[in-house]
A and B are shown apart, each in its own frame.
Chain A
Amino acid sequence: MTSKTASIYDWVDERLGLSELVAFARHKTVPVHSQSFWYYWGGISLFLFLVQCFTGVLLLVYYHPGADAYESVRQITFVMHFGWLIRSAHSWSANLMIFSILVHMFSVYFMKAYRKPREFGWLSGMALLGLASVFGFSGYLLPMDELSYFATKVGLEIPNAIPWIGPAISSMLRGGLQVNEFTVQRFFALHVVVLPALFLPLLGFHLWLVQRHGNAMPPSEEAKPAAARKTIPFFPNFIRKDLGMWLVSLNILALLASVFPWSLGKQADMLVPAPQGIHPEWYFMSPFEMLKLLGNFLPGEAGEIAGLFIFTIGIALWVLIPFYDTTSDSGRRARAAHYFGLIAVFALLATTAIGYWTIR
């Protein structure tokens, strides 16, 4: 640093304690091994979330929730300068963010980075995934074109199927018995205020935990003697590489948003029946298809309830894995958790694929 920068830094440091923060960042090292590539995915998810905040605020300036929703999105996409680009970036980044969160979650799972002392990291991460899914679901309705309207209408049938309290939950989410402009305003408030207010502190907690505990090593690396393990400092070496990955992600996003810009369907007409082959976005395809498959085997409501039950149990087991697979050796529980993970990945991929293949 030049002396001018150094004196400014000292002035701020005396008042805010910056050097303590830098020391905290500097103490962390990042392991370097064959699976180090997976360490980037949390950062990529964070980056894509920041893109969402940026593009989201720009869209917020021009979007009208309520009865004018479709028209405002039409203007953003087809009239305003580069409105189509901001909207495309926002839609693509939403999908890429959920994809990278899932990659991050599965890589953490298979590297067993939920074990002591990282249980809170796992739990907060699962909560963040839940919030991200609600972000996706609420955001999807906002353009109020045919696809958003019917996907939301069908999607809200899922909470409806919960025994006893289901219809009340769906009614509260919809703002009535129908999906209409009040639903849009409700989802808008959720998407822009409530969810960020919940997400941001939880994200801060999650990141602080990563700084505190550092990156976990896969069991194979932990087995090596300390001298044989290679690490690099988090600050500045790993951060530099992390930012490089962010730049790569930005490029992929820019490419997708420019080459495959997000279009706008026809305005939702609430009086017509749902078009053939209506389906949710890919990240909800799995529970959607599971409900359909079980509905083929079990009659009536029993199918939906069974589907919900199986999915809920599955998620509960997944969330509670740190309390099952606790020790650091590769015993019976470690192997069982690993196979459970493989089954979960397979089931999700299979039901998503079947869901797409059977769209009529």
Chain B
Amino acid sequence: MNYPFWYIPHLGSGWVIGIIAIFHVVISQFAVGGGLYLPMAERKALRMPAGPIRDGWLKQLASHSKFFLILTGVFGTVSGVGIWFAIGLTHPEATSTLIHNFVFGWAMEWVFFMIELTTVAVYYYTWNRIDPKLHLTVGWVYAGASAATLIIINGILAFMLTPGDTWLAVAGTGAEASKFWNAFFNPTYWPSLLMRVGVCTSLAGVWALITSSRMDGDKDPALKASLVKWSVKWLVPSFVATPFLLVWYLYMVPASQRALLTLGIDTINSGTFSTVTRMALIIIITSATIIGVAYFLAYRNPTDFNLSHAMAVLLLAYIATGAGEYSREMLRKPYVIGRWMYSNGVRVPYVSRINQQGYLATSNWIWTSPGLSPTSYSRGEAIFRGECGSCHTLDGYRPLRQLLDGRDSASIRNFVVMLHDNKPDSPYRKFMPPMVGTSQDIDDLTNFLNAQVNPPAPANSKPVLTAHK
């Protein structure tokens, strides 16, 4: 509301975050899990009797840690910063709230990032150059720092879904930061932390399968088999625990939002919100497939497990992770910060004030050209960008031209009024914020949307039939 709106045609600005963030999560959660994998594997290898298997393990781990350093240190960090850019542009309002509440949390996070980056570089470059015990200690320091980064960020992320009643009681009073710890250890904090730890250990296994699958199974079958099979075991804890953790997680989500899960069971019609159901189906099937492929291909046939197989597992993990993060985001509708701020940045207690004063009147940034007074269309466009652009595009993702297709001007106005009134029996109330503004705002938005859905005929159109002399 207080910032210019960043509208990305076709894709939608939300997906800019999504694409960067899902990529980041697959790598960063590997950083946490792999950070545990490396010292545990190193310790296991150091305890082996001297011989080719022990040497092979240590050599492979050194190679894996180089891969780990580059992947997490380069792609992980760049995509993490990328998230900052994306959220600041896409949703400055929510970002502002998070920063005001959790700035010291992020400061702590960056201390741990510095420790991570330093220790991972030291870990790789001092293989076989320092005392093995000291080298192992460096690995454990990394593991601890990396775990701390997850522990911290999870609080901020889970807060967005369930800020908790304590924080909500002081929201908007200026005293929000006094409830830092209540907001941090919010209702979904613990189930989501444990689920993410499971994902981290699974991703550690998946990425380890990538590097170990490239070993030559014909040349060194015993070595490859031992590494591949040990890596597969890293997938087990998450797959056993996640179903229970998921039930716990959903139990802590407010009932009205939990209900979003069921909207796609019987219909996918326009005007329903079937996304969460559909994404949940994808998580189930890709996870079940990972179990199948990991057991039957990797565990039972480790020497034949090649890079293509490992890439298939990685792709499935990517899709499962992406679908999971997407469902989590969708579960939060109609809010971006649960029960406090709607997805379009409007704060819940301010709705009646904006309805009286007008949406554009309460917005600091209006797109005006000097010398041109705003028309209904241009005001409508500004309202569209502010109130609808967070979730809708005109022609691409959740396209309004298609969703409103077939409606005339009066029908569009009725629809906007229905969203504005937001009555308890409105089917959209579950997943859409109310349309806020005066009746002038309603008219302006209607004019803009109508111009998109029913564009006026071109000026010099020829008649279909012409009379011949």
Contact = CB atoms under 8 A, between A and B. Distances in A.
A259 B278 contact: yes
Contact of B282 (A77, A237, A258): A258
Nearest to A83: B266
A251 B278 contact: no
A251 B266 contact: no
Given A237-B301, A240-B300, A254 B267 contact: no
A247 interface: yes
B285 A243 contact: no
A81 B293 contact: no
A84 B268 contact: yes
Contact of B267 (A79, A243, A244): A79
A247 B265 contact: no
Interface residues of A, number: 25
Given A251-B289, A258-B279, A240 B266 contact: no
A241 B297 contact: yes
Nearest to A266: B406
Nearest to B264: A84
Interface residues of B, number: 24
Interface in B176-210: none
A259 B282 contact: yes
B397 to A, nearest CB: 12
A255 B266 contact: no
Contacts of A79: 266-267
Contacts of A78: 266-269
Contact of A240 (B267, B297, B316): B297
B329 interface: no
B212 interface: no
Contacts of B168: none
B268 A244 contact: no
Interface string B268-311: 11000010001101100110010011001100110010000100
A83 B267 CA distance: 8
Interface in A244-259: 244, 247-248, 250-251, 254-255, 258-259
Contacts of B269: 78
B306 to A, nearest CB: 10
Contacts of B366: none
Contact of A243 (B268, B279, B296, B309): B296
A85 interface: yes
B66 to A, nearest CB: 28
Contact of B268 (A247, A255, A263): A263
B278 A244 contact: no
Interface in B245-272: 265-269
A80 B266 contact: yes
Contact of A254 (B266, B282, B297, B301): B282
A228 to B, nearest CB: 13
B279 to A, nearest CB: 7
A261 interface: yes
Contact of A250 (B289, B296, B300): B289
Contacts of A247: 289, 292-293
Interface string B63-79: 00000000000000000
A11 interface: no
Query: Interface majority SS on A: helix, strand, loop or mixed?
Result: helix
Contact of B285 (A77, A83, A250, A259): A250
A77 B268 contact: yes
B147 to A, nearest CB: 31
Contacts of A240: 296-297, 300-301
Nearest to A32: B304
Contacts of B286: 251, 254-255
B454 to A, nearest CB: 18
Contacts of A254: 281-282, 285-286
A54 interface: no
B381 to A, nearest CB: 29
A248 B289 contact: yes
A76 to B, nearest CB: 11
Contacts of A309: none
B312 interface: yes
B317 to A, nearest CB: 12
B121 interface: no
A100 B292 CA distance: 23
A258 B281 contact: yes
Interface string A271-303: 000000000000000000000000000000000
A244 B266 CA distance: 31
A247 B289 CA distance: 6
B22 to A, nearest CB: 14
B266 A81 contact: yes
Contacts of B319: 251, 255
Contacts of B285: 250-251, 254
A270 B292 CA distance: 49
A144 B289 CA distance: 36
A82 interface: yes
Nearest to B292: A247
Nearest to A80: B266
Interface in B295-353: 296-297, 300-301, 304, 309, 312, 316, 319
B298 to A, nearest CB: 10
Interface string B15-48: 0000000000000000000000000000000000
Contacts of A263: 268
Given A79-B267, A237-B301, A240-B301, A248 B312 contact: yes
A204 to B, nearest CB: 26
A251 B316 contact: yes
Contacts of B279: 258
Interface of B: 265-269, 274, 278-279, 281-282, 285-286, 289, 292-293, 296-297, 300-301, 304, 309, 312, 316, 319
Given A84-B267, A248-B312, 6 more contacts: A78-B267, A79-B267, A84-B274, A248-B293, A255-B286, A258-B278
11 contacts: A78-B268, A232-B304, A244-B292, A244-B312, A247-B289, A247-B293, A251-B285, A251-B319, A258-B278, A258-B282, A261-B268
